Amino acid sequence: MATRKPKGLGRGLDALLGADGPAIEALGKSTDADALPSVLKVDALRAGQYQPRTRMDEGALNELADSIRSQGIMQPILVRPLAGKDAGKYEIIAGERRYRAARIAGLTEVPVLVREVPNESAAVMALIENIQREDLNPLEEAHGVRRLLDEFGLTHEQAAQAIGRSRSATSNLLRLLNLAEPVQTMLLAGDIDMGHARALLSLDAANQILLANEVIAKRLSVRETEKLVSRALDEAEGKPARTQRRPVALSGDAKRLEEALSDHLGTRVSLKLGAKNKGQLMIDFHGWDHLNSLLERQGLSGLIEN
């Protein structure tokens, strides 16, 4: 799968923790920093309820454990104190991989940073910390954003700002939750990536599963997947194949241009030429998801909001 590029998180975890004034008030802070522990017993920590990761690579955890054995934990684990029957225990907000690796490494104590934070801030901070790690699966990220919307009543715009994404990018993430369950499993396992998944969203559940399996079996690229989806939609609508629809009047150069544009965009492109070198350029799309994908690939993702 392709490596995901770093994202510009305007209010990343470090910025949130180091903020002054009202911003830090929203995240919570201690009124008596000297009274807070900087080291805690591993057994006093509890997994975070807002951890967006649904799986952690055992091999990577063991590698991290080896690093911790030789160098220790370089960055404290961010935690918040629990109350009630769990008083004296601490919930992990950010750093669960370090916590798990520390247990594997045999550590009994770990460095911590304790913060009093409400649930909403804990959820946002956990999501941001994992996004910054670069390897958070897009489906896991989508579930994290969905929790911000459903559990805390954030709008799409507020959720997008919280994780440092555009609203359109956040909407595209959330659409992944509309994939058929087996296709979601393929995405979570890394068998397909987000580009494949977004192309498949134009199909019904049964065809999503069918074509996703074909994508994996044939190792299709995103562009090849988009062409496959386009053909499937045309067949469902009873449209003739592109080779049967090609205008007879097109010159050889025009035909080659039409074909090149179709290959470049991954969807049918038709040229209609008229008198005085005038004409029409028509690009087929199958729903807003497909159109947004086409625009995004041309650097025009901000033109529409779904």
DSSP 8: -
Annotated catalytic residue, options 58, 63, 96, 151: 96
**Two tokens at 223?**
């562009």
Q: What are the counts of helices (DSSP H) followed by strands (DSSP E) for the chain?
A: 15, 7
**Which class for 83: exposed (0-12), middle (13-18), buried (19 or more C-beta within 10 A)?**
exposed
Name beta bridge partners: 81. 90
Closest C-alpha to 51, from 129, 168, 158? 129
Does the active-site annotation cover 141?
no
| Edge-first strand listing for the sheet containing 90-94 | 39-41, 109-114, 77-81, 90-94, 45-46
| Beta bridge partners of residue 39, listed in sequence order | 111
Q: 């955890």: which residue's tokens?
A: 61
Active site residues: 96
